[in-house]
A and B are shown apart, each in its own frame.
Chain A
Amino acid sequence: MNTPASIPPPFKNGGTCRDTPVLKERGQREVFCGLTGIIWLHRKMQDAFFLVIGSRTCAHLLQSAAGVMIFAEPRFGTAILEETDLAGMADAHEELDREVARLLSRRPDIKQLFLVGSCPSEVIKLDLTRAAERLTVEHAPHVRVLNYSGSGIETTFTQGEDACLASMVPVLPSTDQRELMLVGALPDVVEDQAVSLLTQMGIGPIRVLPAPRASDTPGVGPNTVFACLQPFLGDTAAALTRRGATMISAPFPFGEEGTTLWLRAIADEFGVDDETFDRVTAAPRARARKAIANASAALQGKTIFFMPDSQLEIPLARFLTRECGMEAIEIGQPFIHKGLVGPDLDLMPAGPTISEGQDVDKQLDRVRAARPDLTVCGLGLANPLEAEGLTTKWAIELVFTPVHFYEQAGDLAGLFSRPIRRRALLKLEAAE
């Protein structure tokens, strides 16, 4: 039997964050909708195109979020609904078929097309599932057409990735092979590190979802075991489970400890012995610890408040409290899937408020009352809070930057320490 890499301490009063009652709030939410997931998904899936069926608002959101990527012939676009589509003057399905045909004839490199639902397309009940089926037949075998919702009425920010991956699961080929599937779109460099560590332990074959190309799509079946790389993949995990696959539950691979526990859980599943595990992980663990120690000096003893954004909040709070010496005041997530973040919650002693959802004005009142040393929040809130004298870390960067696994552990701590170091560095009071 293996010894756990790092034994969670039995907390004094017995309570962990898992036992903390969750503060559930609704009201105004200062968050992105799931359409934003397209920004990183389209980079990862190289022969996929994401066609949002939406309004000018949706197109405007994508362009605001994608910034300069827009100018690089991106593999996404918005089919903007027009007055005639709504008034029933045009058959929306015919219109859609026409747009898709035109798009595919111009982009023969596209092998997977995602029809992405938006609030407007959902409110007018445009049946994109049917459209996807119809278009799949029409464009087979060259292109496979799938659909999911990235709308603001159904999804928050990273949930767009979950909805996208979950839409692929039912059409994954069946396999009886015992394979490890890593689930979640990570930057290639990070994904390669994960695969390499596991391979060195003799674990394989390893598949990834999403695959970079349609032709590499992994299979799934009763002998598939999978591990999520991201905490926001609840629906995808459920869909894989429905296909008979088994989930390996673990804390998420942030920081040295998180990465080790995540690898350990997979190693245990595949019967890797302690000696092999230590041989493979010892050097990168030491490197990560050292890098974190350097980058986290400014974080020791500082308080942190997470506003909800991506569902990465709980695992990151676990990393920052346990490995960087921070104290969490409130950890807000747009949605809490205890089946996924449970192991992270177990590692934190009860204390911080755990909140789900948002009523932004009330939450801001709590931020102001607590005056945390660092507030993690979205770009709509960051500058206003800075102007109130609070230090912020804007959350979106955590999704766009490589932050998982050992080699990025120092960078991850650095993302949080930089704003604090900057505040200490700038001597602007005299000018204000």
Chain B
Amino acid sequence: MKLTVWTYEGPPHVGAMRVATAMKGLHYVLHAPQGDTYADLLFTMIERRDHRPPVTYTTFEGRDLGEDTAGIFKQTCQDAYDRFKPQAIIVGASCTAELIQDDPGGLAETMDIPVPVIPLELPSYQRKENFGSDETFYQIVKALARPMDRTPEVTVNILGPLALGFRHRDDIEEIKGLLYEMGIGINVVAPFDATPEDITRMGAAHANILMYPEHAETAARHLERTCGQPYTKTVPIGVAATHEFVAEVAQICGVEPRKDLSRLRQPWWSKSVDSTYLTGKRVFLFGDATHVKAAARIARDEMGFEVVGLGCYNREFARSIRDLAKDFGVTPLITDDYLEVEKAIEDASPEMILGTQMERHIGKRLGIPCAVISAPVHVQDFPARYSPQMGWEGANVIFDTWIHPLVMGLEEHLLAMFREDFEFHDEAGPSHHGGHAPKPSENGGPAPQTAVTHGGPAPQTPRDISGTGNEAGAAQAQTEAQSSGSDVMVWLADAERELKKIPFFVRGKARRNTEKFATEQGLQEISLDTLYEAKAHYAR
């Protein structure tokens, strides 16, 4: 038993639902209690599908147990066939039905259903959602795809996009664009929008594009074995990865690696001087292995970030994540426990998190900006606008998405210069993110000024830009200033007048530094001379 509040992945039958819902003309008969239908709303709400998932649940109840749950299954299966007339049916058990051991596959076999019925074995107590989708797609392909003559022109299948997939809808379009530029035709895209009949035609393609290893690697391997189709190993997320992908596709398909880079803006955006401030930003990466691997490379090589931690929640890919971590010189984190992720993030104290919906919340809690790079995601990451992750446009989208939560370059510069000034103090947060701006420091309001002049508690993270360069020292100096009663410091009239000539956004800092200097000198009054001596002192 393991106490859990949040899970990165659902049970495997949800993975099977994602395949079924992605497809057309396929129906899933799921042996499950009432209540498991909750999963429908993931599709109708989060992904905003305009139809019900093609899933019929047997909905057995307590009083049916020990009686004829097998009969209920067969009846449900027959009714579902009669009503929906699908081209093929997949049958399986949810976690509860797995325990009552009715064997949906065997039961369906004894029936007279005139279309292929594909049984699924999804061990609910060992495996999870991604396994469920990979296995389901594999079983469908295994049951329906056959070797056949190649298409006369060069075509490929695109494997892996699913329902409830992070940006799958738009990634497909990007891949199609990349292939189009090389003159490669599309045979079948699956599971997304494919029918069982389409699956039977898969053998005609010359090769397979494996978009998401999590969801289709087993099927790709199977097709390689049975239909002799090579499949791509590069996932084209990021500029370099997309170049490599194009080269790989060109090579396995025997075509020219032609590409149209006219709309690729990411490299210039990243080179432009406004991006200089991104250099060495410490980022932490977490999500599914495929997206983390791609993101790590983009972060380091295309954004100039420093990767300070990385990991994934899907154990199936643990080895490749360990290798990656070694390459990046960080400790890999393979876990599905978000508390461990939170701990690792806290320890690494990154300036930015790239993760899932869960890391977004961890980021919120720790006050660290976050961008989403991987499922599981919430409704806002199924956007109406075109937003792929793959290909050239994907690179543009990623650049915008990742820097959006960060403070903008010029803005960061201003914040550093005037960080103790009240409009600009650090905690004001990025100006373009009004709704998310963290509260001012706990003692309320524009802390720095009041803190000193009224001897209130010091701001939480007092920083010094005065030239001493040492935060701890500054904090100490400030405390001392308070305890020695800077609020009784008297400003002589000419000093006061001079102070007012200093631009408002540095005035507060000048006042504080001068008072601090005066205190250190044991002065009670500040004259014009004191002001300039202080300025000279801190300019040192």
Contact = CB atoms under 8 A, between A and B. Distances in A.
B28 to A, nearest CB: 12
A113 to B, nearest CB: 12
Contacts of B79: 27, 361
B78 interface: no
A55 B96 contact: yes
A251 interface: no
A28 B37 contact: yes
A70 B361 CA distance: 10
A381 B38 contact: no
B65 A123 contact: yes
Given A152-B36, A380-B52, A64 B2 contact: no
Interface stretch (A95-103, A184-192, A324-332, A336-344): A95-103
B99 A123 contact: yes
Contacts of A98: 1
Contacts of A103: 3
Given A78-B4, A80-B2, A384-B44, A60 B14 contact: yes
Given A79-B1, A384-B51, A61 B35 contact: yes
A57 interface: yes
A19 B250 CA distance: 74
Contacts of B59: 26-29
A33 interface: yes
Interface in A187-227: none
B375 to A, nearest CB: 13
A32 B35 contact: yes
Given A27-B59, A28-B37, A361-B83, A63 B52 contact: no
Given A383-B44, A384-B50, A119 B1 contact: no
Nearest to B57: A28
Interface stretch (B122-130, B184-192, B440-448, B525-533): B122-130
A30 B40 CA distance: 9
A380 B361 CA distance: 26
A59 B35 CA distance: 13
Interface string B388-428: 00000000000000000000000000000000000000000
B34 A156 contact: yes
B62 interface: yes
A373 interface: no
B42 interface: yes
Contact of B44 (A57, A95, A380): A380
Contacts of B56: 28, 361
B365 interface: yes
Interface in B121-165: 123-126, 128
Given A31-B34, A79-B2, A387-B51, A56 B7 contact: yes
A73 B511 CA distance: 44
Nearest to A56: B11
A176 interface: no
Contact of B5 (A56, A64, A77, A99): A77
Contact of B37 (A119, A380, A382): A380
Task: Label chain B's interface by main secondary structure.
Answer: mixed
A80 B7 CA distance: 11
B10 A86 contact: no
Task: Give the one of A78, A92, A96, A382 with max B CB within 10 A.
Answer: A78
A152 B48 contact: no
B95 interface: yes
A40 interface: no
Nearest to B37: A30
Contacts of A378: 41
Interface in B1-57: 1-7, 9-11, 13-14, 33-42, 44-45, 48-52, 56-57
A209 to B, nearest CB: 25
B196 to A, nearest CB: 21
Contact of B49 (A36, A78, A82, A383): A383
A96 B123 CA distance: 22
Given A361-B83, A384-B52, A83 B125 contact: yes
Interface in A55-112: 55-57, 59-61, 63-65, 68, 70-71, 74, 76-83, 85-86, 92, 95-96, 98-99, 102-103
Nearest to A86: B125
B94 interface: yes
B35 A33 contact: yes
B61 interface: yes
Contacts of A387: 50-51
Contacts of A255: none
B76 interface: yes
A87 B278 CA distance: 53
B3 A99 contact: yes
A55 B11 contact: yes
B380 to A, nearest CB: 12
Contact of B11 (A57, A74, A77, A153): A57
A274 interface: no
A56 B60 contact: no
B100 interface: yes
Task: Give the one of B50, B56, B61 with max A CB within 10 A.
Answer: B61
A122 interface: yes
Task: Give the one of A60, A85, A379 with max B CB within 10 A.
Answer: A60
Contacts of B49: 383-384
Task: Give the one of B3, B7, B50 with max A CB within 10 A.
Answer: B3
Contacts of A333: none
Task: Give the one of B11, B36, B37, B79 with max A CB within 10 A.
Answer: B37
B125 A81 contact: yes
Given A33-B35, A78-B3, A82-B2, A60 B10 contact: yes
Contacts of B94: 57
A122 B5 contact: no
B11 to A, nearest CB: 4
A268 interface: no
A35 interface: yes
Interface string A360-398: 010000000000000000111111101100000000000
Contacts of A153: 33-34, 60-62, 64-65, 96
Interface of B: 1-7, 9-11, 13-14, 33-42, 44-45, 48-52, 56-62, 64-65, 76, 79, 83, 94-96, 99-100, 123-126, 128, 361, 364-365
13 contacts: A26-B59, A51-B3, A56-B10, A57-B10, A59-B4, A60-B10, A63-B7, A64-B42, A99-B1, A102-B3, A152-B34, A153-B61, A383-B44
